[in-house]
Structure 1
Amino acid sequence: MSNEILTIQEVATYLKLNEKTAYRLASKGELPMFKVGGSWRSTRVDLEAWIEEQKASSQAGEKKR
């Protein structure tokens, strides 16, 4: 895994989201992002960990049904 830093545009592309959706989720704290000089950034490692958490919580929710 790489500790590469991604821009919000790269995160949106990676997650196949509209850029505005990525901005909204980042500003609400729902994506693992941080600001550098007013611009949103994330590490690939943090993003991949977040994806795994989302998958796990989604699967746990399905099992409860």
Structure 2
Amino acid sequence: MAALAQVTTREVLDIRQASEYLGISGDTLYRYASEGFIPAFKLGNRWRFKKNLLDAWMDEKSGVKSTAPVTVQPKQKKPAGRAR
């Protein structure tokens, strides 16, 4: 039977883990979460942070586009019909 793959990074972080990940103090992160400045949610009475939402938030704040650029191909003209 296959062993369960062990996840090396947590998807949901607590205040300490998220502040360490973001490189800011826990007090600052708590204030950001309380003011709704940063994506967070409460589980019971404790703040939690989804890592993928923090990454997207950082990309947005830094002006980085999180998706690959979309290339738009010009429409091909239809061949002209015969004149009647």
TM-score (structure 1 length as normaliser): 0.79
2:23 pairs with 1:20: no
Tell which structure's C-alpha radius of gyration is larger: 2
- SS at the partner of 1:32? coil
Alignment partner of 1:56 out of 48, 53, 63? 63
Q: Percent identity?
A: 38
Structure 1 residue runs of 4+, over 6 Å off? none
Higher strand share: 1
Question: 1:32 pairs with 23, 39, 57, which one?
Answer: 39
Q: Deviations over 1:4-60 (max 9, x none)?
A: 111111111011111100100100001110000010001111010000000118xxx
Structure number with higher helix proportion: 1
Letter matched to residue 34 of structure 2: S
1:47 to 54, 70, 73: 54
Unaligned runs of 5+ in 1: 58-65
Give the TM-score of the pair, scaled to structure 2: 0.62
- Alignment root-mean-square deviation, CA: 1.7
Gapped regions of structure 2 (runs ≥ 5): 1-8, 65-84
Structure with more contact order per residue of length (Cα contacts < 8 Å, sep ≥ 6): 1
- Number of aligned residue pairs: 56
